[in-house]
Each structure stands twice: as structure tokens, then as C-alpha cells.
Amino acid sequence: MAYSEFLADRVRQRLSNAGSIVEKKMMGGLVFMVNNKMCVGIDINKNTNIDRLMVRVGKLNYEEHLNKTGSRKMDFTGKVMRGFLFIDPDGFDTDVDLDFWIEKALEFNKKNKTHTHNRGYKQ
């Protein structure tokens, strides 16, 4: 398994009232689709063997969110994906911190009209 089941359960609890939730194993981890749009993901960083959270926050507040503890640019493919962030454990270990990131991902999810199966991630 390429993700923490404990972290997956923590995310599931927070998404339980968010709408239509589908879990998909992809990108070596687990992605939570909310209303048919990629919202949050979890995996284990292959370089450090440590859990990490992936949140889709969009481009509008992207730079601001990069200043939060544990937050860094998502460069899964070697190319930075603006609008997506990786969050290291020091940024989501506490319930308050995880709540913050789930809230930000859900805020963007509600605004985002583009479904993730489209090639262009319009934001």
C-alpha cells in the first residue's frame, strides 16, 4: 500500500458531508474525488518514505498557501503543477491543520467547474 490507511481515514471523516465522494487509487496513492473533481490525495513520498497530503487549492491563493507550514509546490512529474500543493506531516499532523487543508481544498472544489478527466485544468 502506497499510502497511510490512518491518514486516509482522517481525510474520509472530514469529507463525509462534502457531497459525492469517490476514492481512486492513482499516482501511487489514493485520490479523493469530490463531485467528480480531484480534491485531495494522499501518498507516501518515495524519497523520504513519509506520508504526504496533496491538496488542490487552485491558482488564486496558491502563493499564499505556499507560506503555510509543511506546504510546498507539487512537482509529482518533475514539473510544478500550479494550483496543487504537497503538504508534509508537519502541516497536517494536528486536527486543526488537517481541517485547514481539507477546507481549502473543498472551497476550491466548489468554485471549480472543470472535471479532472478533462486534459486542461482550468482554474
Per the CB < 8 A criterion, the answer to whether 44 and 27 are in contact is: no
Residue 122 confidence (pLDDT) above 60: no
Confidence band for 76, pLDDT divided at 50, 70 and 90: confident
- Complete domains list, the chain, with CATH: 5-111 (3.90.1150.30)
pLDDT in tens, 15-37: 999 989 999 998 789 999 999 99
d(CA 15, CA 9): 10
Residue 121 confidence (pLDDT) above 50: no
